[in-house]
Amino acid sequence: MLNRFKNAVIGAVGGFETNGLALNQDLHQRSSLSPKFPYARPHFLELDWEQMQISADHRLRPIIHPSQSLAFNTGYAECINAGKSKWNEDQAVLQQGVLTKLELVENSPPVKYDIPYSYYGIFDGHAGVGAALCAANQLHHILHEKLVDAQDDIWQDFIGKTVSKPRDLLIIGALESGFREMDQLIAEDRNKYQSAGGCTALVALFILGKLYVANAGDSRAVICSTNKIIPMSMDFTPENERDRIRQLAEEQPALLGKEFTFREYICQPKSVDLGKPIMYRDAHMKGWAYKTLQTEDLKMPVITGQGKRSRVMGTIGVTRGFGDHDLLAVHQKTPIKPFLSPHPEVQVHKLIDVTEKDVLVMGTDGLWDVVSCSKAAEVIGKQFDLFSQKERYVSAATCLVGSARGILVNDHSWQLKNEKPASVDDISVFVIPLFPYRDAYLEFKSKYTDVDL
């Protein structure tokens, strides 16, 4: 697949790519440091350096998928952006793990139980590749340690014993604390390694018959089946986190610096309107009221814009994820990080009732900006009709990336089939069959016949 692009040439990784975001001056002083992890594509793609260069061709934007089958024939595909950054700032991970439990049995040797789990992660980087690379290489190790800490209680709950907290809450807690620790690690590493920018984080964890999806950012996970679509995450953007951010700003006004306000106005206040009534609302208000326009009302709202154009402090369009510890408001010296959060929303789905046609789709916003959930389900359904079980999932992932990327028109713009603008962002997609995880759980569960399904 890559040979036909053999003439593509890309230079070596170097320096910081901020994509217009304002960064703390200390970051530029640290630019001579080496990165903690060298730039690479997901390990399961098995790309050599030449292939990695070819995958970074912004004009051809080749769609890359694994040459070897992944676990349960899981599908994955990706393509680079149309030129907004030198490298593909998305990262993806697939790991298989085991929690080993020794169960003490009276008058018998200890019995060893291995609790298998599968981990999928997608990290959408911005203002550099550093944060996404750090998360892709480290978060699964952090999460494993969190699960090990809780594995005794998780096991006791699984076999029907009384525990202080059910295993759902323990696994959710492992994900939540793992995300926070990952963000702290990136912060601590800033003085040791070159690690620019930030990233969103979307993780799927399959363990003991359930799917746990943890999301911090605007990547998205959705279950597609023959007759329904089940969202497994919500997009965290300035628009839908407007209340949280404005309330924090009202409670801690020092975070706003001198140029921003927690208030929201029905229209942008202008100096010519000073002394006139204007409609506004404070951070905790649902409705609107009038006030007399004063000089302090001329400050920029902490949240501006609508939809995909919404921004925190006029600068960044995502509100959750890792990194961005050095990010400052454009044209200001006000840190933005206090308004950003690594805390994930975690949703849980039982696998016992899934069917052979149910899949989990995980994608960065490069997919979802132009492909709806219903369109994704339609694309996947067609691949089920055309391909065998071994090939359908990678074909579905490839077609989803192709549907979002579109085609190059007149050698300068990417368009969808309906001639609307296609995605020019990095695009990464997993298509994960759910039924094999159900079967694997039932096989594991069959060893413990005294436990209810």
In a shared domain, residues 213 and 269: no
In a shared domain, residues 265 and 207: no
In a shared domain, residues 44 and 139: yes
In one-letter notation, the amino acid at residue 295 is: T
In a shared domain, residues 129 and 166: yes
In a shared domain, residues 277 and 405: no
Asked whether residue 46 is assigned to any structural domain, the reply reads yes
- Let me know if 245 is exposed, middle or buried by CB neighbors in 10 A (0-12, 13-18, 19+): buried
Asked whether residue 453 is assigned to any structural domain, the reply reads no
Asked whether residue 217 is assigned to any structural domain, the reply reads yes
Give yes or no for a contact between 93 and 45, defined as CB atoms under 8 angstroms apart: no
Going by DSSP bridges, is the β-strand pair 289-292/264-265 parallel, antiparallel, or unpaired?
unpaired
pLDDT digits over 69-127, tens only? 999 999 999 999 999 999 999 999 999 999 998 777 677 777 778 999 999 999 999 99
Q: What is the pLDDT of residue 30?
A: 61
Compute, in degrees rounded to 10, the torsion defined by CA atoms 44, 49, 55, 59: 170
- Let me know if 174 is exposed, middle or buried by CB neighbors in 10 A (0-12, 13-18, 19+): buried
Asked whether residue 82 is assigned to any structural domain, the reply reads yes
Backbone angles phi, psi at 444, to 5 degrees: -65, -45
> Can you spell out the DSSP letters for 202-220?
EEEEEETTEEEEEEESS-E
Vertex 124: Cα angle to 121 and 125 (nearest 5): 125
Q: pTM value?
A: 0.90
In a shared domain, residues 155 and 52: yes
Asked whether residue 427 is assigned to any structural domain, the reply reads yes
In a shared domain, residues 87 and 121: yes
**HSE toward the beta carbon, residue 352, CA cutoff 13 A:** 7
Asked whether residue 329 is assigned to any structural domain, the reply reads no
Task: Name the average pLDDT for the chain.
Answer: 90
**Site of tokens 């934007």:** 61
Q: What is the pLDDT of residue 1?
A: 37
In a shared domain, residues 165 and 273: no
Confidence bin at 12 (pLDDT 50/70/90): very low
Domain that holds residue 275: 253-317
Residue 199 has pLDDT above 90, yes or no: yes
Give yes or no for a contact between 81 and 424, defined as CB atoms under 8 angstroms apart: yes
Mean pLDDT of 39-63: 95
Asked whether residue 330 is assigned to any structural domain, the reply reads no
pLDDT digits over 124-161, tens only? 999 999 999 999 999 999 999 999 999 999 988 888 88
Asked whether residue 333 is assigned to any structural domain, the reply reads no
In a shared domain, residues 42 and 177: yes
Residue 453 has pLDDT above 70, yes or no: no
In a shared domain, residues 291 and 436: no
In a shared domain, residues 102 and 181: yes
Helix axes 373-386, 389-405, angle to 10 degrees: 140
Give yes or no for a contact between 313 and 334, defined as CB atoms under 8 angstroms apart: yes
- Determine the Cα–Cα distance for residues 404 and 77; give it in Å rounded to an integer: 12
In a shared domain, residues 259 and 391: no
Would you give the DSSP letter of residue 164? S
Number of structural domains found in the chain:
2
